Structure 1
């Protein structure tokens, strides 16, 4: 089924409503630039889908209670997004599946976001408490203006003089340049008694220290879930 841009957006919002997955912006591509659709042609537009704060946690945690397989969050996301994409005549893409799609680049184009020192894209409202669960590509250009409300707003890190994320990490894994994030130091710390008693239970200390979007901070159960997935 295909309709106009507003019709497609309404269908997506209606289909995803119970899950808490949200439309996180749209990327429109020049001819031949977009990812391949199922029919081998290039997408003209991609709609990014994800969470803001704990929007997905109630629905996902209920589903997870009856699931005993691998990669629960990826599996749940696919169970919701795949059928919707098929119904709309689009193609679904996921961060966990090859061919790897440039989700971070899409997000920077769709919502004008930039990386934080942790490497996570920081949103002016949600801070570090958001994510991308998938995307749907369409043959038609949607010309979406969803990023207009945050376009031109200053990068949150640029007007954060204290930068507590840089000083809170107990192993100094966080650096001003996100490309220098010390992944091995972070992972090694998570295996220690100190890491098990702090970050693994309450979430990354540096991430928690960020003052942007505090009201969207994940609940403790959601923090612990993501930390165990990172380990």
Structure 2
């Protein structure tokens, strides 16, 4: 069914049917139109796991799934599909995320989203040629009301700490150890510690997939 001329709400519903959530919207300063940011939410992994890309044993299954699914959505709404991979040059997803008023720099440096916390995963975006109305973002970081900020102390080797650069070597070294299996199988401890991350509904299998891509053995 064509969604050309669709409202934000219809695009949101179509994305949900594909296992995606709208993670923000904006009118980019360097583009004419409306940009709808799409990402992984609670329904993403079951939908992906049932897809041909998940079982064809070819490289980059999640990216190929994103190309197919978001490409189809773009065709339905008359939009251009944009992705955070496939460069260089790379589309400025971090800048767009922050400009949407729904993603912010966390105390440990990674972006934090207002509904999925540190389990933030942009799969692509729809660039619509015209302006459409979309809900105003609060523009308030969830970290502002997080008293304990558990993300700053959750990493077992201190690779992610408040006000400190990410210690990539310490992270990778830990993942090679027996205790590091917890992060490998369930996802980054700092990301899991964020209270808002629960909103992502992230399954262990999805976290394990991404961790294996980050730290292949």
Q: Answer yes or no: same fold by TM over 0.5.
A: yes
Q: How far apart are the structure 1 equivalents of 2:134 and 2:8? A: 12
The answer to whether the aligner puts 1:190 opposite 2:175 as a matched pair is yes
Are the equivalent residues in 2 in contact too, given 1:25–1:110 (CA < 8 A)? yes
Structure 2 residue aligned with 1:102, among 89, 92, 104? 92
Structure 2 residue aligned with 1:220, among 175, 186, 204? 204
Are the equivalent residues in 2 in contact too, given 1:200–1:224 (CA < 8 A)? yes
Q: How far apart are the structure 2 equivalents of 1:125 and 1:86? A: 27
1:119 Cα offset (Å): 3.5
Corresponding residue SS for 1:169: coil
Q: How far apart are the structure 1 equivalents of 2:122 and 2:71? A: 15
1:213 Cα offset (Å): 4.1
Q: How far apart are the structure 1 equivalents of 2:189 and 2:172? A: 13
**Cα deviation per residue 1:29-48 (whole Å; 9 max; x = unaligned)?**
34xx12xxxxxxxx422111
Corresponding residue SS for 2:153: helix
Gaps (5+ residues) in structure 2? none
The answer to whether the aligner puts 1:23 opposite 2:22 as a matched pair is yes
1:217 Cα offset (Å): 4.1
Q: How far apart are the structure 2 equivalents of 1:68 and 1:169? A: 32
Cα gap change, 1:88 to 1:161, in 2 (>3 Å): closer
**Cα deviation per residue 1:14-60 (whole Å; 9 max; x = unaligned)?**
54333211222222134xx12xxxxxxxx4221111123x2211100
What CA RMSD, in Å, does the superposition of the two structures yield over aligned residues? 2.4
